[in-house]
Each structure stands twice: as structure tokens, then as C-alpha cells.
Copies of this chain bind each other. A is one copy, B any other.
Amino acid sequence: MTTGTRWLTAEQQVAWRAYLLGTARLMAKLDDDLRQFGLGINDYEILVRLSEAPDRRLRMADLADRLHQSRSRLTHTVGRLETAELVRRTSCKSDKRGVWAELTDAGFALLEQAAPHHVEGVRANLVDLASAEDFAAVGRVFDTVSEHIGQR
């Protein structure tokens, strides 16, 4: 065993594991709650990003970056969402390589249904459980993490 490794302190270790377990439980719970709408949290996040974008559409690569997913994964997922008629793909005029993923009316309608339940779940299982200061700290920490790691 080398002596050089800077192991986590006991408190850090406990916090790190709480984060791992808490995240696993939270994501499973949110996923579960969305299942009644036929969505997973991954699908849900895709629909949300599209709903917020101008003309409710985004380029595939842009969307993939925002969610930190591989393009391949996004292609497959959007393929399924397209089959479900929640998203439509159209080719991009200005860059012929490009593809727009666009939210359909059905997709928007489903999102309107699901969103209140989902937000309620995020509140009940995370936001409302923490003090405003602690939750803000979570935001700060992971914003820094995000910045530090950057794009894939």
C-alpha cells in the first residue's frame, strides 16, 4: 500500500456515500413516478429541453450536450420517442448534416400532464427536505463540478 494516497476523511466518506445512495434512490423514485405517463426520467428531460427551446426544437448534438449523453444514445432514444409520436425529426436546411428534434403537440400535451407530478416529486423527495441554504450549496457544488469536467 502506498502512503501517498489522500484518502477521504471519515466525514467526507460518509457524505460521498450518502450522495451515491441518495442519488440512486431519488432517481429510481422519480423514474417510478413518471412511469404512469409512459416516460422515464431520461425521456422526460429530453421533452423538457425541447419544450423550452425556440420553436420547441433543438439540434441533436446540442440536446446531447445539454444532457451529457452520447449522440448514439440520443439517436436511439429520440427514435423511440418519435415512434411514440412525442417528437418529430426534421432535417436542417442550413447544415445538411444536421437534424432538428422537435416536440410534437402530443409531446407537449403529455409534458403538461406529467410536469406537475414530476415537480411535486422533486419537491417532496429533495427540495423541500433540505434547507434553502443546503440546497443552494448542492447547486453550487454541482455547478462547479460541471464546469470543471466540461463537455465530454
Contact = CB atoms under 8 A, between A and B. Distances in A.
Contacts of A5: 115-116, 119-120
Interface string A1-39: 110111110011011101111111110110000000000
Copies of the polypeptide in the assembly:
2
A24 to B, nearest CB: 4
Contacts of A67: 21, 24
Interface residues of A, number: 58
B142 A141 contact: no
A127 B16 contact: yes
Interface of A: 1-2, 4-8, 11-12, 14-16, 18-26, 28-29, 45, 66-69, 112, 115-116, 119-120, 122-123, 125-127, 129-130, 133-146, 148-150, 152
